[in-house]
């Protein structure tokens, strides 16, 4: 069976010349209403007991950790002709050297990153993603992440994100100030201990694990570590009390029984949460990395070696050359054209997402804009592929 599956993949790689078209991976969430900005028909957002379709995962080899849902939720599928089906995860497992490069595959188990668009009509509850030391206790990865707020779409009713806690809480070691909100689990007043920052289209933030955040309603393109680990700390959200089980979702039962709600406080990166220069040390503005006669390319995800990403803009009727250091995926957000000969078009779910395997990624490829407006696409890279990506110069007191 494995030989037949590998033969199928090999045939597809030859047919697509090393660039694999992908299908969208839709993910439902049940704790927030959807923003309905993912391009689906109105009635397609309803997902029954699963909630609503609120996220699209991109070139994903990660399973969504939902209580209710199909066994393959979150996994991307290759866009194959006919009745054959294959997930991108299966493809990577079958031919890691071909897809990721032989050298890279020796030291990396998989793509090691998750890109997604999340689309909510209310602010996401105040939460953390456990740091490596805590995530590994439940057999999971940590989840550093970065955001890019997409342009030319409605920002939603609450386009601001709460980050961290007021600096005096950490300076004066008032760590227990959050505890009553976790124990009582009745309202959203825990947010009064945090600060909110505007979601500005075309900009974003980098956020390490262990840092508190309540993301706003801007349509957000997120790049993160390969994980779906979290702890929700806000009880009341979007007019209803969410399940307290989400506070302890990724906590060992023995630790919960021993420490109760305090176990979550022990999982916070307190110095990072109380950083008086939080904005300066986490805000991401696009950084120009390539300029050609046909357009420009910018770093939009940086400040870490765990993942990185770029935005490419090709002007109407023009083209750009692109050459990278390793495997990556793309999402076409605006316009139409070709990517190394593959037809691409924003909003066409058969033509807006590709995985560029290693041998093609390190070649010089041509991206053409065949439309009448700018062609805008995003590139997503995994750990260690771009060790030279920019780093934020730390602000210190």
Q: Indicate the domain borders of the chain.
A: 25-87+111-283
Confidence label for 396 from pLDDT (cuts 50, 70 and 90): confident
Quick check: 2 pLDDT over 90? no
**Average pLDDT rounded to a whole number, residues 287-303:** 98
Quick check: 67 pLDDT over 90? no
**Average pLDDT rounded to a whole number, residues 302-325:** 98
**Average pLDDT rounded to a whole number, residues 325-338:** 98
Quick check: 183 pLDDT over 80? yes
Distances in Å between the alpha carbon of 321 and those of 81, 314, 318, 338? 29, 10, 11, 12
Structure tokens at 254: 């023995």
Q: How far apart are CA 356 and CA 358, in angstroms?
A: 7
Q: Residue 128 class from Cβ within 10 Å (0-12 exposed, 13-18 middle, 19+ buried)?
A: buried
pLDDT, residue 386, reads: 98
- Helix, strand, coil share of the chain (percent; to 5): 25, 30, 45
User: With contact defined as beta carbons under 8 Å apart, do 301 and 223 qualify?
Assistant: yes
**Average pLDDT rounded to a whole number, residues 201-229:** 96
What average pLDDT does the chain have? 96
- pTM, full prediction: 0.95
Q: Please tell me the CATH code under which domain 25-87+111-283 is placed.
A: 2.60.120.10
> 133-162 pLDDT, tens per residue?
999 999 998 999 999 999 999 999 999 999
For residue 306, what are the contacts with CB-CB under 8 A and spacing of at least 6? Answer: 112, 113, 144, 225, 383
pLDDT, residue 98, reads: 97
Q: How far apart are CA 241 and CA 244, in angstroms?
A: 8
Strand partners, 311: 298, 378
Burial 309-348 (b: 16+ CB within 10 A, else e): bbbbbbbeebbbebebbbbbbbbbbbbbbbbbebebbbee
Q: How far apart are CA 96 and CA 106, in angstroms?
A: 9
Confidence label for 82 from pLDDT (cuts 50, 70 and 90): confident
Structure tokens at 241: 């009390």
Neighbour tally for 27: CB within 10 Å: 26
Q: Residue 138 carries which DSSP code?
A: G
**Average pLDDT rounded to a whole number, residues 36-58:** 96
Neighbour tally for 94: CB within 10 Å: 18
Quick check: 65 pLDDT over 90? no
pLDDT, residue 228, reads: 83
- End-to-end CA distance of the chain: give it in Å, rounded: 60
Q: How far apart are CA 378 and CA 356, in angstroms?
A: 12
Quick check: 1 pLDDT over 80? no
User: With contact defined as beta carbons under 8 Å apart, do 298 and 204 qualify?
Assistant: no
């Amino acid at each position: 069976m494995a030989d037949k599956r590998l033969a199928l993949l090999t045939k597809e790689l030859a047919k697509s010349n090393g660039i694999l078209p992908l299908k969208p991976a839709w993910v439902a969430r049940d704790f927030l209403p959807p923003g309905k900005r993912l391009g689906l028909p109105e009635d397609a957002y309803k997902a029954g007991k699963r909630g609503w379709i609120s996220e699209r995962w991109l070139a994903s080899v990660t399973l969504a950790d939902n209580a209710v849902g199909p066994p393959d939720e979150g996994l991307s599928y290759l866009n194959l002709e006919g009745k054959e089906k294959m997930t991108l995860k299966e493809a990577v497992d079958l031919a890691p050297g071909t897809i990721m490069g032989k050298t890279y595959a020796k030291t990396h188990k998989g793509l090691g990153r998750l890109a997604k668009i999340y689309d909510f009509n209310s602010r996401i509850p105040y939460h953390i993603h456990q740091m490596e030391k805590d995530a590994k206790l439940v057999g999971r990865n940590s989840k550093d992440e970065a955001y890019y707020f997409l342009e030319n779409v409605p920002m939603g009713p609450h386009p601001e994100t709460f980050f961290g806690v007021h600096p005096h809480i950490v300076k004066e070691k008032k760590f227990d100030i959050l505890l009553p909100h976790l124990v009582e689990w009745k309202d959203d007043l825990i947010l009064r201990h945090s600060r909110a920052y505007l979601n500005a289209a075309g900009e974003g933030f980098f956020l390490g694990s262990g840092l508190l955040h309540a993301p706003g309603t801007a349509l957000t393109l997120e790049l993160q570590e390969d994980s779906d680990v979290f702890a929700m700390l806000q009880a009341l959200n979007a007019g209803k009390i969410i399940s307290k089980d989400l506070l302890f979702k990724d906590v060992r039962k023995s630790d919960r029984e021993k420490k109760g709600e305090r176990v979550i406080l022990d999982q916070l990166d307190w110095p990072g949460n109380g950083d008086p220069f939080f904005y300066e040390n986490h805000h991401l503005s696009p950084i120009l990395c390539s300029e050609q006669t046909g357009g420009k390319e910018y770093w939009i995800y940086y400040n870490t070696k765990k993942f990185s990403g770029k935005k490419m803009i090709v002007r109407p009727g023009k083209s750009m050359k692109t050459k990278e250091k390793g495997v990556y995926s793309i999402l076409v957000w605006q316009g139409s054209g070709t990517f190394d000969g593959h037809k691409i078009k924003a909003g066409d779910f058969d033509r807006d997402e590709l995985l560029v395997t290693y041998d093609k990624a390190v070649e010089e490829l041509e991206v053409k804009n065949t439309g009448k407006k700018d062609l805008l696409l995003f590139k997503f890279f995994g750990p260690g592929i771009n060790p030279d990506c920019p780093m934020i110069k730390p602000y210190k007191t």
